Amino acid sequence: MVIADISMPEMTGIELIRMVKPLLPSSQILVCTVHDDNETVFESLRAGATGYLLKDAAAKEIQQAIIEVHHGGSPMSPYIARKVIGFFQHQPPVTGKSNYDLSGREKEVLDLISKGLQYKEIAAALDISMETVKKHLRNIYNKMQVSNRIEAINKYRTQ
């Protein structure tokens, strides 16, 4: 796992992500930065960041985010999550058509993720455990060959 800032002396965090992901595609990169502008946030996620935290997060939140990444999650500061949700609310709905051989349950999980629901909410809505939600997400990521929920939703919507 890599924790990267956007502003670093030798290269930007986005450049680091673009360098690491092709070499280590399964690497998990958590961005922890002061930068909250749309361009930086979305470019980091497009490059392959697994999560995005603002540096004003408490130490306990950062610790929890690291644990979440290790368990297949994509943690984001609430302000960043709001930006991401706002972006997707202006996108066409998930059509349900799939060339990725997703199971019915995986499609349900992906649809709920695209609506901005958290793991706990998805687990409650589908009457499954959070671990099962995370397992479905790992399967979705593998089948779609993506590394985070943003890539999965974008790929599913644009097929």
Model confidence at 18: pLDDT above 70: yes
Q: What is the mean pLDDT of residues 49-77?
A: 94
Q: What is the CATH number of domain 2-80?
A: 3.40.50.2300
The predicted pLDDT at position 11 comes to: 94
The span from the CA of 52 to the CA of 80, in Å, is: 7
The predicted pLDDT at position 100 comes to: 80
Higher pLDDT: 13 or 25? It is 13
Give the DSSP letter string of 46-112.
HHT-SEEEETTS-HHHHHHHHHHHHTT---B-HHHHHHHHHHHHTSPPP----SS---HHHHHHHHH
Q: pLDDT, tens digit, for every residue of 103-143?
A: 889 999 998 988 888 889 999 999 999 999 999 999 998 89
Lay out the sheet containing 2-4: strands in order across.
Answer: 2-4, 29-33, 51-54
Q: pLDDT, tens digit, for every residue of 78-99?
A: 999 998 888 877 766 655 555 6
The reported pTM is 0.59
Write the single-letter amino acid at 46.
R
Q: Which fold has domain 92-158?
A: Arc Repressor Mutant, subunit A (1.10.10)
Domain edges within the chain = 2-80, 92-158
